[in-house]
Every structure is written in structure tokens, then in C-alpha cells.
């Protein structure tokens, strides 16, 4: 069936596909389904029926042919599209400007917060440094005082230990010295006793020897006297 005969057959009908369609719309429908199989044609027919039939669908396409652009199924003539474009561009620019300003404001806030945090951090560091310096000075003072105190305690302990050692040495030395003195006195007395006994023995022996020597000398003199007398008697007769 040709497009014209179909038009003539359905022009006054309420057929959901061809009712009310123009001959031109029906011709373009035939052009579109040329080369399609039955399943594809059936699917296209269902789609056209849902869109209002061939007449409504292809009439809308005719109107779209007069537009330079369609957005959301709405056609725009050149003048309308220019106005729409300018309006959308202005809206976009306004949005971009607001976004830029918002970004700048947020950046400024972030920068100010960073500066504030940095200043606070620097102040905290300074405070911590001051506190640390004070703590360090306190520690040094405490350590110095404790060290001096320990040194004094050590010196006192050493002095006490030296004193105790000296006293102990003195005590031991005194006992040893007394023992030495006692031993020396005993030795001296023993030596004196032994020397006295030896002296007595020597004196007795010496006296005995002297007596013997004296006796022998006396005997010698007596013997010499006898001999002298005898010799004198002999020589006296000779000389006479």
C-alpha cells in the first residue's frame, strides 16, 4: 500500500497509528520502516502509538526542522536560541562569579585560620620555651643545691671517718706503744739482771785472777830476791 492510499484510508479514522496523519507524515513513516524486519517494524509502531501516532510524531519532527536547536524536546529558533544562550551564559557567569567569590572567601578564611593557628603555635612554642627554660633553671638550681648538699654530706662523712680512723689509730698506737714500752722495760730489766749476774761473775773471776797474779808476782819477787842474795854472796867472795 502506498502512502497516499494509506492516507486516504485512515484520514478520517481514529486508528492509533495512522489516524489523523498527513500523507507526508505517512510517506516519511514508510521511508523509515523500509529495510526493517517485522519485529523491528512492530517495535517502531508501538513507539509511535505511544507518542501519539504517525501524525503527531512526524508533525513534531517537521516543526523541529525549523529550529536551530532542541533542548529537552523543545525547539529553539535562532533568535530564541541566542536569547536562551545569553541568559544561560549570564546565569553561568553569575554562578561562576559567586563560586569564585565563595572560593576566595573560603580561601581567606582558611588563610586567616592558618595565620591564627600559626601565631598561636608560635606563642605556644614561646610559652613552652619559657616554661622549659624555667624548668631547666629550676632543675639546674635543684641539682646544684642537691650536689652541694651531697658534697657537704660526703665531706662530713669523710671527716668523721678520718676522725674515727685517727682515734682508732691513736688508740691502737697507744696500746701498741704501751705494749712496746712494757716489753722494752721487761727486756731492759732482763738485760740488767743478766748483765748484773754476768758482771758479778766477771768481777769474781777478775778478782780471782788479780789475786792469782798478785800471788804469782809476789812469788816471783821472792824468788828473784833469793836468787839475788845467792848471787851477791857468790860474787862478794870473788871480789874479796
Q: What is the pLDDT of residues 20-78, one digit of tens each?
A: 888 888 888 898 898 899 999 999 999 989 888 888 777 655 554 555 565 655 555 66
Residue 35 lies in a domain: yes
| DSSP-based three-state secondary structure for 37 | coil
Residue 205 lies in a domain: no
Strand partners of residue 75: 70
Query: What pLDDT score was predicted for residue 145?
Result: 79
Q: Which residues contact 192 (CB under 8 A, 6 or more apart)?
A: none
Residue 150 lies in a domain: no
Mean pLDDT in the chain? 76
Residue 54 lies in a domain: yes
Query: What pLDDT score was predicted for residue 160?
Result: 77
The parent domain of residue 43 ranges over: 3-66
| H or E stretch at 94 | helix 78-239
Q: Which residues contact 22 (CB under 8 A, 6 or more apart)?
A: 7, 55, 58, 59
The Cα 67–Cα 74 span in angstroms is 9
Residue length, the chain?
240
Residue 151 lies in a domain: no
Residue 19 lies in a domain: yes
The Cα 70–Cα 65 span in angstroms is 10
Residue 134 lies in a domain: no
Put simply, whether the predicted model's pTM sits higher than 0.85 gets the answer: no
Query: What pLDDT score was predicted for residue 43?
Result: 93
Q: Which long-range contacts (CB under 8 A, 24 or more apart) does 159-167 make?
A: none
pLDDT lower than 50: segments of the chain = 64
Tally of structural domains, the chain: 1
Residue 190 lies in a domain: no
The Cα 195–Cα 49 span in angstroms is 168
Strand partners of residue 76: 69
Q: Which residues contact 44 (CB under 8 A, 6 or more apart)?
A: 32, 33, 36
Amino acid at each position: 500500500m502506498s502512502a497516499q492510499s494509506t492516507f486516504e484510508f485512515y484520514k478520517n479514522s481514529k486508528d492509533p497509528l495512522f489516524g489523523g496523519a498527513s500523507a507526508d507524515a505517512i510517506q516519511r513513516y514508510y521511508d523509515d520502516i523500509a529495510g526493517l524486519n517485522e519485529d523491528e517494524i512492530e517495535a517502531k509502531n508501538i513507539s509511535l502509538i505511544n507518542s501519539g501516532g504517525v501524525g503527531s510524531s512526524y508533525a513534531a519532527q517537521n516543526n523541529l526542522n525549523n529550529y536551530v536547536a532542541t533542548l529537552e524536546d523543545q525547539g529553539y529558533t535562532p533568535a530564541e536560541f541566542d536569547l536562551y544562550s545569553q541568559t544561560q551564559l549570564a546565569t553561568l557567569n553569575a554562578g561562576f562569579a559567586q563560586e569564585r567569590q565563595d572560593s576566595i572567601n573560603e580561601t581567606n578564611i582558611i588563610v586567616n585560620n592558618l595565620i591564627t593557628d600559626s601565631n598561636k603555635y608560635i606563642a605556644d612554642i614561646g610559652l613552652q620555651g619559657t616554661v622549659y627554660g624555667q624548668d631547666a633553671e629550676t632543675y639546674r638550681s635543684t641539682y646544684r643545691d642537691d650536689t652541694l648538699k651531697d658534697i657537704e654530706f660526703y665531706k662530713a662523712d669523710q671527716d668523721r671517718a678520718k676522725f674515727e680512723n685517727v682515734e682508732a689509730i691513736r688508740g691502737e698506737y697507744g696500746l701498741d706503744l704501751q705494749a712496746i714500752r712494757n716489753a722494752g722495760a721487761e727486756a731492759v730489766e732482763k738485760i740488767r739482771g743478766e748483765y748484773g749476774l754476768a758482771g758479778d761473775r766477771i768481777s769474781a773471776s777478775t778478782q780471782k785472777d788479780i789475786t792469782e797474779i798478785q800471788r804469782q808476782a809476789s812469788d816471783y819477787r821472792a824468788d828473784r830476791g833469793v836468787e839475788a842474795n845467792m848471787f851477791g854472796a857468790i860474787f862478794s867472795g870473788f871480789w874479796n
